[in-house]
Amino acid sequence: QKEVEQNSGPLSVPEGAIASLNCTYSDRGSQSFFWYRQYSGKSPELIMFIYSNGDKEDGRFTAQLNKASQYVSLLIRDSQPSDSATYLCAVPHSGGYQKVTFGTGTKLQVIP
């Protein structure tokens, strides 16, 4: 099992719809979870992070965490063409140092 797994996509949604991006992880000790966005030809940038079970909302973005199921998701409401990018899930190791493992990313396409 990979440490962090994501569906590579592409995930296509119409403009205005909700995009749901999923990530599973294997390190049960992980405490924090990150979502990065990477536009084509650009470097990844942090868009959301979550520590606690449940939901965390920031504008049109909602991160959801279920530690028992080792599952974290990102919902994008009212998807816009500008949201078209690859979304990377990242999970720091629980081993007491700053190693972070990235998933392979899900490519999102928002169709106008």
Where does this chain bind another protein (CB under 8 A)? 8, 32, 34, 36, 43-46, 49, 51, 88, 90, 92, 97-105
| Nearer to another protein (CB atom), residue 17 or residue 92 | 92
How many C-beta atoms lie closer than 10 Å to residue 85's C-beta?
21
Q: How far is the CB of 41 from another protein (least distance, A)?
A: 9
Burial (Cβ within 10 Å: 0-12, 13-18, ≥19) of residue 9: middle
Our CB check for another protein shows the closer of 5 and 17 to be 5
Q: Which is nearer to another protein, 32 or 109 (CB)?
A: 32
The secondary element (H helix, E strand) that includes residue 13 is strand 11-14
Say if CB 37 and CB 47 are below 8 A apart: yes
CB of 22 to another protein, least distance (A): 15
